[in-house]
Structure 1
Amino acid sequence: MTRLLTLLTCLAMPLFTACSPEPTTPLPASESASTAAKPSDRPGAWSHADPYDPDVQEAARFAVQTFAVQGKRRVLFKEVNQARQQVVAGLNLQMHIQVSVDAMARSASVTVWRHPDGRYSLTEWVWLD
């Protein structure tokens, strides 16, 4: 019986050691510093967004349409000059946009909140000129 138990133990040992994780080696200081989170990578921090990204363009068009309906004015979207984003419960998109109001060129800073379910809300519209 003792021999059988010893034999089973010897056969089982390689299985346990084969499944154990290998010891990890720490990254060199130069690599760990370069992969550390930058301030813009922190949750809730603002980061750059591509003005030509389809999501940014859609949010900008939503802002213009909403502002036009609320103000009962003819406002036409031209382009997004700058954009940045903030991950919250959903996504805040802050954009500097060019519009045409009653055939006059204007600039505005707008913030649009994309809800977790995909809906948009215009949270800020400030004329820059």
Structure 2
Amino acid sequence: MALIRAYNLTLYMRVELNPNPCFECGQCCQHFRVSFYHAEIEGNGVGIVPAKLTTKISEHLACMKGTEKGGAPCIALTHNKEEGWRCSIYEDRPSPCREFNILNEDGTPNSDCLKLQQVAKQKKALLSQI
């Protein structure tokens, strides 16, 4: 709810915000291999990513389970009709997830995100025909 003050008169206005498009998409979590430095795993220095949700790739790299080969959903990705797509470990997610944003630093749309949103729309359209 937004508060506007004008001429000592307080007006209240209801503001409807657009829902976060990530909640309707989830494609980045279903498309990319989420690999990261092993120190990000809990128990390794300052790591916070739950170890039980990771797969060791090499001596120094791990990835989120489910994303080992790319093109499959991350084990931490959840979905329900009320909330849409969510990360079950959002506060403890690895660096690639923290760094992948819907917008670039200059405020322009992330082209990879836009491509994945198109994929999501196409999938949704195909599924609605079944």
TM-score tier by shorter-chain length is under 0.3
Rg larger in structure: 1
Q: From the two aligned structures, give the one with the greater strand fraction.
A: 1
Normalised to the residue count of structure 1, the TM-score between the two structures is 0.24
Normalised to the residue count of structure 2, the TM-score between the two structures is 0.24
